[in-house]
Structure 1
Amino acid sequence: MLKKVLAPLALALAISAPAFAAGDVTPAPKVKWSFHGLFGTFDRPAAQRGFQVYKEVCAACHGLHLVAYRNLQDLGFSEAEVKSIASGYQVTDGPNDAGEMFQRPGRPSDRFVKPFPNDNAARAGNNGALPPDLSLMTKARPDGHNYLHALMIGYEKAPADVQLADGQHYNKYFPGHKIAMPQPLNEGQVTFADGTKATVEQMANDVTVFLAWAAEPELERRHQLGLQVLLFLIVATGVFYAAKRRIWKDLH
């Protein structure tokens, strides 16, 4: 249980922390993400599975404070499902008529409940370290989607010529390859509702898609607007060109 709680904390710290030792950096594999490119969209089933990984593995330590529960409807969750998810959390609200704060079940309009009431409580529960919020985690590094995915799948047995100190682990994609974070994802760690096999690769892919959506929930609308503007400019160019030919035809 302790490992399940501490692993997500170490994941985010590893993303933002410098290398523990100098060494060669192995480039992260380039994944063909569905949300990349002019016509990119989020893979809904993958994002829903990624939410499940976040909820069951990451949320014990890490918040997602820029996202509201109602936003999950954009991923294909029904209104009833969102209400059920939100009501599973207790939200501090108030003050009431007596001037006191009180607890109530979450509502779809609430933002994701933080795992700790304040930063001091978060540090106290994590050996002095403050677990970062994951709302913008895929933007924490250049090529953050591929780096996050690679970090979660990059654990291997250390080569014979590599000496690891106590508490260090070997990750071929981490700068210097020596990392304090234990492997955050393990085979079968979650049971996906759609029956997808929960391999490390699958969970890493899905939670990356979910966190990419959390960081840019407006991405698809932005792509659609860009396409509309592009089509408008193409049509407008044709109209202007035809008008130019008509106006100046007697001078040629």
Structure 2
Amino acid sequence: MSFSSLSRGRKAALSTLGVLAAGGAGLAFALHRSVKASELELHPPSYPWSHNGLLSSLDHTSIRRGYQVYKQVCAACHSMDYLAFRNLIGVSHTEAEAKALAEEYEVLDGPNEEGEMFTRPGKLSDYFPKPYPNPEAARAANNGALPPDLSYIISARHGGEDYVFSLITGYCDPPAGVSLREGLHYNPYFPGQAIAMAPPIYNEILEYDDGTPASMSQVAKDVCTFLRWASEPEHDHRKRMGLKVLMISGILIPLIYYIKRLKWSVLKSRKIAYRPPK
């Protein structure tokens, strides 16, 4: 039996039932969405980073300050396993400065000729030292939470530097009705809103070597710029190469088009006459 063969009363009843079912499903979905805890999670705003322009490079003075923030604040818990001291040369430090930074650390090396391990001053080829010897020690020191490696954190998180900036500056008191267990902190930008990391930065948490005022926003901006470079060290080179490609293409494309028109003009202007066989 088709819908068109039903009486007018049955058609009206079925239509009303369909509208009520769709409305009830929509209301149930809306109520389900309204009580989800994830709705309290905020999406980071889009900040006007100086390096976001099509031809804009990274702020290398900010990268230098960002390394200082990482060294004095973040390195106590977070590692950067894929960054070596030599990577700083020509980006934020000179070779002599990078070598001096490496020599501040004692590195376990060996074995020597006697088969024993020994410690030596760091070298440019050494990677940034880890704050903990293994993940288990890191969890034990942070109430079971494992601090993530920061080498590619900007590329690994949706929102990039906008997310990291909002996260480290977005700590606040939990709203009414939200309770956190001991050792957790409320952050609306973190998935689940409960984060084990305490607020990492505040005003004047450190003193910059170049005299820049170390406000919370300045510290967050510098460390995010440093982490962007760490995640994408080819950032400036990629944009320079893109500019060169555009300039060369602007010359070659018209030339190739002219040659194409010149070579094909004879073929395109030909008239093919078909003569049927006698």
TM-score, normalization by structure 1: 0.83
Aligned to 2:250: 234
Decide whether aligned partners of structure 1 residues 150 and 116 sit closer, same or farther in structure 2, where only a CA change above 3 A counts.
same
Find 1:40's aligned residue among 56, 66, 78: 56
Tell me the secondary structure at the aligned position of residue 74 of structure 1. Answer: coil
Q: Give yes or no for the alignment of 1:85 onto 2:107.
A: no
1:155 aligns to 2:155 (yes or no):
no
The residue that corresponds to 1:3 in the other structure is none
Matched, 1:124 2:152: no
| Cα separation, 2, equivalents of 1:160 and 1:121 | 35
**What corresponds to 2:118 in structure 1?**
102
Which residue number in structure 2 is paired with residue 30 of structure 1? 46
Q: Matched residues in 1 for 2:200 and 2:145: separation?
A: 17
Instruction: Tell me the CA shift for residue 212 of structure 1.
Output: 0.7
Tell me, in whole angstroms, the C-alpha distance in 1 between the residues paired with 2:78 and 2:181.
27
Q: How many residues align?
A: 233
Give the deviation of 1:122 after TM superposition. Answer: 2.7
Does residue 225 (structure 1) correspond to residue 231 (structure 2)? The answer is no
Structure-to-structure mapping, 1:1-252, within 5 angstroms: 21-160=37-176, 162-175=178-191, 177-248=193-264
Relative distance call for 1:107 and 1:126 in structure 2 (3 A) is same
Aligned partners of 1:173 and 1:162: how far apart in 2?
Answer: 15
Q: What is the letter of the counterpart of residue 150 of structure 2?
A: L
Shift of 1:172: 3.7
Residue 175 of structure 1 and its aligned partner are, at CA, apart by: 4.2
**One-letter amino acid matched to 2:140:** A
**Alpha-carbon separation, structure 2, partners of 1:130 and 1:233:** 48
**Post-superposition shift, 1:85?**
0.4
Q: Is the Cα–Cα contact under 8 Å of residues 153 and 227 in structure 2 kept in the other structure?
A: yes
Matches of 2:83 and 2:190 in 1, distance apart?
Answer: 28
Higher relative contact order (CA 8 A, sep 6+): 1
Bigger mean CA deviation after superposition, 46-55 or 180-189:
180-189
Question: Mean alpha-carbon deviation: is it higher for 29-38 or for 80-89?
Answer: 29-38
Aligned-residue sequence identity (percent) comes to 47
Paired residue type of 1:31: Y
CA contact (8 A) 2:79 2:150 kept: yes
Report the Cα distance in structure 1 between the residues aligned to 2:43 and 2:132, rounded to whole angstroms: 35
* Deviation of 1:44 (Å): 0.9
- Counterpart for residue 272 of structure 2: none
Deviation at 1:52, TM superposition (A): 0.6
Structure 1 position 41, deviation (Å): 1.2
Quote how far apart the aligned CAs of 1:159 are.
4.3
Query: How far did residue 62 of structure 1 move?
Result: 1.4
**Cα distance between partner residues in 1 of 2:193 and 2:149:** 25
The 2-side partners of 1:166 and 1:76 are apart by 40
2: distance between equivalents of 1:116 and 1:24?
33
Q: Are 1:88 and 1:105, in contact at CA under 8 Å, matched by a contact in 2? A: yes
Ranges in structure 1 where 5+ consecutive residues have no aligned partner: 1-19
- Residue by residue over 1:112-152, the C-alpha shift from the partner in whole angstroms, topping out at 9 and shown as x without a partner, is 11122233333333334332211011122221210100011
| Gaps in structure 2 of 5+ consecutive residues | 1-35, 270-278
**Aligned letter for 1:127?**
N
**RMSD, matched Cα:** 2.3
Letter matched to residue 247 of structure 1: K
Contact 2:40–2:188 (CA<8 Å) still a contact in 1? no
Opposite residue 210 of structure 1, the aligned amino acid is F
Q: Is 110-119 or 98-107 further displaced after alignment?
A: 110-119
Cα distance in 1 between the residues matched to 2:169 and 2:146: 24
Please give the secondary structure, in 1, of the residue aligned with 2:47: coil
- Residue identity opposite 2:104 in structure 1: G
